Amino acid sequence: MGIFDQKNVLLICTAGITSGLLVKNIQNAADERNLRLHVYSAPAIIAEQAIQNQKIDALMIGPQSEYEVNRLKDFLNYKSVAYKMISKEAYETLDGEAVLDDILKLLDK
């Protein structure tokens, strides 16, 4: 990950509250490590629109939005957006560190 370019990570889900807390924990973990990462969430329903209109470097998908992967897969590949499911455990425990590690692996490709 280049030191000067900020990376944008979108987290999509169906429930807003949990993802909002998780995003906050991921962002805090990134800030603690001095990573130039902007993490935000959006409802799965507008994911396609967000990917089309914004610069997104990685997409993290909440466990309850697993079905979205099939809907978005071709689009994500076409747009070259790396994506990964968030583990149920990390999601339920709001483990920002674990999700951040997954994000960094995705961005490192």
| Residue 67: band (very low, low, confident or very high) from pLDDT cuts 50, 70, 90 | confident
What's the pLDDT at 1?
Answer: 47
**What are the structural domains, with CATH classification, of the chain?**
9-107 (3.40.50.2300)
The pTM score is 0.89
Please tell me which of 19-23, 28-32, 43-47, 72-76 the model is most confident about, judged by mean pLDDT.
28-32
SS (H, E, C) the chain: CCCCCCEEEEEEECCHHHHHHHHHHHHHHHHHCCCCEEEEEEEHHHHHHHHHHCCCCEEEECHHHCHHHHHHHHHHHHCCCEEEECCHHHHHCCCHHHHHHHHHHHHCC
